[in-house]
Amino acid sequence: MTRGVLGACGLAVALCLACPPIEAAIIVQDDFNDGYINPALWETWTRGAVVVDEIAGEAYTAASFASDTHSSASFHSTPLFGGDLDVSVEFRAPTQLSSADTSHFGLMAWSEGDHPAVHRVGIRRQRDTVNGNRYWFWWYDATDGSSAFPATVYSDDLSGAYRITREGDLFRCYYESAGSWVELGSVSHFSDPARFVFYALTDYSKPSVEVYWDNFQATADWVVPEPATAILFGTAAAAVLRRKKRRT
């Protein structure tokens, strides 16, 4: 499915017309200052006892206890992003995850299609029963239903950022540490157009998960909204309109 209109407060898009095609990147940003969830950029998906909102310049996801199902709150990008990709988003969690193994929050790249039949690559924060909170790199293959969780690193950070890049079909996932990106894992997976998802999830009787998100940025070779409705901001000199705010 392809829906949406590019162009609204909080969105910046630039097209480099003077560069070779591989460098003619489009940049899409949202600093969540609209005061509402911008439908040109985001669909919200909810299940169970959740809250999804835009509050005081941040996106907000909260998933609470539900006895008969998992609860999940997520932002899914309306546009599709194609070609080589570089996507990041900041996060802030008021408290540490307190439940083991099944509660988490993260950033994912999804191939085009209907859930659950989509390829996925992601990075998330999760807690285990022994060593505490960790960053976890993972992927899922919709062709045969296989998945892997090949890399983790332990950290008690309550704020930071996730980043996912793709060159060809090679994905790399990063977390931010001391102002620098640290690569957690990589996998050759899919080269189809992708949507990006950030979310909070808790399973069954597990405690709540609450996360604030800020400064989403996606760089792609091309972006697909509905035909004839795309608005590209920029000049032949590849000027980029940027309204990224700084955290105080």
- The verdict on residue 3 lying in a domain is no
Question: What local confidence, expressed as pLDDT, does residue 241 receive?
Answer: 31
Note whether 87 and 165 are within 8 A (CB). Answer: yes
Q: What average pLDDT is seen over the chain?
A: 77
- The verdict on residue 151 lying in a domain is yes
Q: Which residues pair with 26 in a beta bridge?
A: 15, 220
- The verdict on residue 173 lying in a domain is yes
- The verdict on residue 144 lying in a domain is yes
- The verdict on residue 2 lying in a domain is no
Please spell the DSSP secondary structure of 34-73, one letter per residue. SSS--TTTEEEEEESSEEEEEETTEEEEEE---SSS-EEE
- The verdict on residue 28 lying in a domain is yes
Q: How many domains does the chain have?
A: 1
pLDDT exceeds 50 at position 70: yes
pLDDT in tens, 49-66: 788 999 999 999 988 766
pLDDT exceeds 60 at position 43: yes
pLDDT exceeds 70 at position 85: yes
Query: Domain of 111: which CATH number?
Result: 2.60.120.200
Residue 110 belongs to domain spanning: 11-224
Task: Please classify residue 121 by burial: count the beta carbons closer than 10 Å to its beta carbon, then call 0-12 exposed, 13-18 middle and 19+ buried.
Answer: buried
